[in-house]
Amino acid sequence: MCASPDSLRVIPSNWLGPLSLESMFGCKPRALEVDLGCGKGRFLLAHAARHPEVSFLGIDCLLLRILAVEREARRRQLSNIRLVYVEACYAISYLLPARSVTTFYIFFPDPWPKRRHHRRRLFDEGFLNGLDRTLIPGGAIHIATDHEDYLEAIRKVFSSDGRFDPGPPLKLDARERTDFELQFLNKRLPIGRCSFRNV
């Protein structure tokens, strides 16, 4: 088991180079799973508790959310979680070491439904470059969204990219549902999911 440092929040000393996973986790992770846009961390906290042998990184661009997840991870004494307050595409383009991530979770990314805002969406060729750079061969990406149009757009980006194949679907315990997932389920709204594998 890796040692838990004073702060679970990692502030990179070099914003241009790859993070040292060994320094972050206190030892070389056997497997690294990353929750991009972890929000309030309901999934991340529950999943990390169920898999103490795996190292988890939660990334979000809202500092208050990162601080809330950190507080809760500490309260639950989860030593396998680290958090970074940073934009997701930047993190996978520059901060995460190449070929280091076994699994990405991207749950309920902001759908930006208006056409003029589509360019703000996370999934585009540049984002896939970052996923491809950081995933180990065979590494997985699991995505969930309540937005049908966005789900189709995401599938389209992946299907036109030879670096990824459709992957086996993710099976999660009900206790691992995300905060947004619970909101949509309460409103009886359908949830779309897709998974891909880096070939």
Ligand X SMILES: C[S@@+](CC[C@H](N)C(=O)[O-])C[C@H]1O[C@@H](n2cnc3c(N)ncnc32)[C@H](O)[C@@H]1O
Asked if residue 55 binds ligand X (CB under 6 A), the reply is: no
Q: Is 149 a catalytic residue?
A: no
**Position 80: which residue type?**
N
- Which residue in the set 84, 178, 196, 198 belongs to the binding site for ligand X (CB under 6 A)? 178
**Position 184: which residue type?**
F
- In the complex, the smallest distance separating the C-beta of residue 1 from ligand X, rounded to whole angstroms, is 26
Task: Point out the catalytic residue in the list 6, 35, 60, 110.
Answer: 110
Which residue's CB is nearer to ligand X, number 39 or number 139?
39
Which residue's CB is nearer to ligand X, number 62 or number 199?
62
Asked if residue 104 binds ligand X (CB under 6 A), the reply is: no
- In the complex, the smallest distance separating the C-beta of residue 67 from ligand X, rounded to whole angstroms, is 12
Q: Would you please indicate which residues are annotated as catalytic (active-site) residues?
A: 110
